[in-house]
Each structure stands twice: as structure tokens, then as C-alpha cells.
Amino acid sequence: MATRYSLGAAINAGLRAAMAHDDKVVVMGEDVGTLGGVFRVTDGLAAEFGADRVVDTPLAESGIVGTAIGLALRGYRPVCEIQFDGFVYPAFDQIVSQLAKMRARSQGRLALPIVIRIPVGGGIGAVEHHSESNEAYFAHTAGLRVVSCANPDDAFHMIQQAIASDDPVVFYEPKRRYWDKGEVEDEPTRSLHEAAVLRDGSDCTLVAHGPTVATALAAADAAREDGFSVGVVDLRTLSPLDVATLRKVAAESHRVVVVHEASTFLGIGAEIAATITESCFYDLEAPVLRVGAYNLPYPPAHLESDFLPDVDRVLEAVETSLNF
């Protein structure tokens, strides 16, 4: 029987289920315990599982991830919360130089089952360092798995699947969608690394992830009113990519537009465009196009609505593709 949750509450429920299932799962981060997290995603977990399993840490992201690596080597499954996307950089060396490489360094003898939760993207009127989309850094790093949820059902199930993984997982949460509500099924309908075709389209397909999935769906609705069949794919997994699904939708619709909040230069969209072009060039009627943020530092909050991709910019790209 499905239960209705907001996206943030679904992650909370997924964390609670994982902690109840395995007493080696520990949650750690800044203000995750007593406060329940700045977005209240860990609300109530400290009262239920105790301060030994829901740990308020110092303001030291490198220390959070470094401690998690030590715990994982001792058999725990730490879930680290990075309070905002732009705060992850002090932990970059721990993630890229240690966490990502331990399995290969030990020739497979050591695994680090760590989840790093990162609220990502803009749209909440925040100050500098609170609205970044840095997924390409980690998707580029071999040894990490990178996923991005976009709705409550995926939020609930994907966080549990990520915790169950024996490889480190960077888990992106679209912070401006934390309050969006939806049905959560009892059982997952997809594996962690499987894209979701949310809507079939014969004229063009929009490929999005995280916060831009809702934007893509709204654009597809608007295109339908103009008589065009535009499909939508929720990537869900950024590393590894679900290449089979991308090939399928490209072959069926012949036109693809990738939508993400990150800047387009050397972003996930560039990798998807290259992958589709290499795999099914002769199926395409137009180049794979990208819609993303501008290649600039994230602007002050009062300008972010002009900076982030919206329905109009997505529709403009669809029209360009159709007219190619």
C-alpha cells in the first residue's frame, strides 16, 4: 500500500528503515542529531536510535568523511550528511584520494560502504556556496557511484539501496524539491543504477536528473499542447550511466535534449551527448543539445531564476532540435 510523503520525509523514512534493519548503519554530520538537520531530513532519528548512531560532528567536512572511512574499515555503514553542496570541497581530498580508491588500492580486499548525502542545486534563495551543482566532479572519479533522486518514491528506496551498496555512493538530493509530495510504494520498482522513462515521446526526448526532472515534465506538457510528443527520462544514476536506456530513447525519438542545473561546460550533459553520438549517430536527426546553467559562478539569489534552466529555455532547445 502506497504512503504519501514529501521528498525530505521520504529520505528520513528510508534512513529510519535502513537503521532499523542494520545496527551498523550510522548517521553523521553537522546538526543531524539534536536539530535533525537544517532541512529536517534526519529529524527524530537521534531520539529513536541514540547519539551513538546519529552523531553531531564538528564543522569539518574532511573530518566527517575521514572518520566515516575509519568506521567503514571497522565494519560500519556510515551515512554522512554534507549540509550544503558547496560545503563538500574541504572533504574533496578524502573522497577522491581515499574513499574512491580504497577498493582498487587493496586489490578488492577492502570495501568502503559509505553514503555521502548532498543537498544539491539552487532555487531556495540561498547565499553563496549553498546552491551549487557539482555532480560532474564526483561522476568523473572512478571508484565512486553517483546517484540523484527526483521524487519521494525514489528518495525512499534509493537511499536504502545506496546504504546497502558495498561501494561508496554520493547521493544527491534536490533541495528545492524537499517539500514536493508523492506516493511511495512499499517495494522499489527499479535498481539503484537504472534510469526511468517517465514519458515516451516520438519527436524528442528530454533527459534530466534531480531538480530538473520536474522542469522537463512541465516542458513536455507544454510541448504536447503544441502538438509535439516529447519524452522524459529521469537519469537517476550519473555514474554508472544507464547507457542502454539512453540508446533506446535516442533511437526511438531521434532527438535528445539534456537538462541539468550544472553549467554545461564539461558537465554530465556533455558526457551524455558524446555517449549517444558514439552509440547511435545514424539514428539521430539533430545533434544532442544541452540546457543548463551558464558557465559562471552561481549568482546572488535574486538572479537565480534567470540563471537556472526553466521551461522556456527547454522548449527553445526542443524547437531548435526539431528545426535542425
Half-sphere exposure of 61 (CA within 13 A, CB side): 18
Helix, strand, or coil (residue 292): strand
Identified catalytic residue from 130, 157, 193, 209: 130
Please state, in angstroms and rounded to a whole number, the distance separating the CA atoms of residues 324 and 207: 19
Q: Are 70 and 76 in contact (CB under 8 A)?
A: no
- Locus of grid cell 551513538: 52
Q: Are 267 and 292 in contact (CB under 8 A)?
A: yes
Q: Percentages helix, strand, coil for the chain, rounded to the nearest 5?
A: 40, 20, 40
Please state, in angstroms and rounded to a whole number, the distance separating the CA atoms of residues 78 and 54: 10
Least Cα distance to 81 among 29, 34, 139 occurs for: 29
Please state, in angstroms and rounded to a whole number, the distance separating the CA atoms of residues 71 and 26: 9
- Residue 260 bears catalytic tag: no
Report, as residue numbers or ranges, the catalytic residues. Answer: 130
